[in-house]
């Protein structure tokens, strides 16, 4: 361990061997893009969404899962797998469509769990009940994008949900016995150290089991680029970001699983901060700070 409970270590302790997450693109969308709450998405969001983009190529979830498992066996000698529904909001679709997509991920007994990325306002009893039924006996992570514990910031970045929505989604997910991973972004417009620390304290007070850290990075085709271009937004420096993550990890409750230390932007559209391409370097700084 590197001074914190990493996801890899946590999964190896649970299952006795390397467990690899297989990223999946289910071809879904988001209420902040299809018109229910908005059309432009969050100000930092790429129109393609995070993830592989495989659905747009006509590659089914089943194919993605099988190909991903073969790759992970060769690359990491992984013996068990978690289906990771990554792109956009993976509980935002009619129940029958979700059921069909989720079932495609169950490719054999070595699929030991599922991780479903979604928004706090796309979680309800019906969808969680469906997940509980399909993945009965499996490890289930619900990954919820909080980003900030400040409603003013959420409004500024056009999230389309509130902090209260997040808390409700956490408690509902825990009611079904699921593990919850919160996503946070450091360096959002209008936020300084005080606001970022408050977000961590807020998460720490909830029954959250894991966390993903991301830096705000600027992509040219995102609305946040306009703020950056006119000088209204200065991205965090690499050392500043690393210090914020290290402080957060030291502050979190023991047992909170660290799923990610830094974001991994697409290189083709990245404008700033360019240190975002130095993932290994950023992780190295964070690990050094944690050990101090």
pLDDT in tens, 240-258: 999 999 999 999 999 999 9
Please check whether residue 167 is in contact with residue 194, taking contact to mean a CB–CB distance below 8 angstroms: no
pLDDT tens-digit readout, 218-234: 999 889 999 999 999 99
Please check whether residue 85 is in contact with residue 22, taking contact to mean a CB–CB distance below 8 angstroms: no
Q: Residue 175 half-sphere exposure, CB side, CA atoms within 13 Å? A: 13
pLDDT tens-digit readout, 43-98: 998 766 556 678 879 999 999 999 999 999 999 999 999 999 999 999 999 999 99
- Residue 269 contacts by C-beta under 8 Å, 6 or more apart in sequence? 46, 219, 220, 221
* DSSP bridge pairs for 211: 182, 258
Please check whether residue 265 is in contact with residue 215, taking contact to mean a CB–CB distance below 8 angstroms: no
Q: For the chain, what percentages of helix, strand and coil (3-state, to nearest 5) are there?
A: 40, 20, 40
Residue 126, classified by CB atoms within 10 Å of its CB into exposed (0-12), middle (13-18) or buried (19+), is exposed
Q: What is the pTM of this model?
A: 0.95
| Domains present along the chain, CATH in parentheses | 7-211+248-262 (3.20.20.70)
């Amino acid at each position: 361990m590197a001074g914190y409970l990493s996801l890899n270590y946590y999964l190896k302790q649970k299952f006795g061997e390397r467990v690899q997450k297989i990223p999946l693109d289910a071809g879904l969308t988001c209420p902040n893009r299809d018109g229910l709450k908005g059309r432009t998405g969050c100000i930092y969001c790429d129109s393609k969404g995070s993830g592989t983009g495989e659905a747009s190529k006509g590659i089914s979830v089943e194919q993605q899962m099988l190909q991903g498992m073969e790759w992970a066996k060769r690359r990491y000698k992984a013996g068990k797998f978690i289906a990771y529904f990554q792109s956009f909001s993976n509980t935002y679709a009619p129940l029958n469509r979700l059921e069909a997509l989720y079932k495609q991920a169950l490719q054999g007994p070595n699929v030991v769990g599922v991780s479903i990325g979604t928004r706090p306002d796309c979680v309800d009893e019906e969808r969680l009940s469906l997940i509980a039924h399909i993945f009965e006996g499996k490890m289930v992570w619900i990954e919820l994008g909080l980003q900030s514990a400040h409603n003013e910031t959420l409004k500024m970045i056009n999230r389309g949900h509130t902090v209260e929505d997040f808390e409700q989604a956490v408690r509902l997910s825990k009611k079904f016995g699921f593990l919850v991973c919160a996503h946070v972004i450091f360096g959002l417009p209008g936020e300084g150290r005080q606001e970022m620390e408050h977000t961590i304290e807020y998460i720490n007070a909830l029954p959250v089991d894991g966390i993903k850290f991301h830096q705000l990075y600027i992509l040219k085709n995102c609305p946040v680029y306009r703020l950056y271009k006119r000088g209204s937004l200065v991205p965090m420096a690499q050392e500043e970001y690393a210090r914020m993550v290290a402080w957060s990890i030291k502050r979190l409750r023991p047992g909170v699983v660290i799923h990610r230390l830094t974001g991994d932007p697409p290189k083709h559209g990245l404008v700033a901060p360019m240190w975002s391409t130095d993932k290994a370097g950023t992780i190295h700084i964070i690990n050094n700070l944690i050990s101090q």
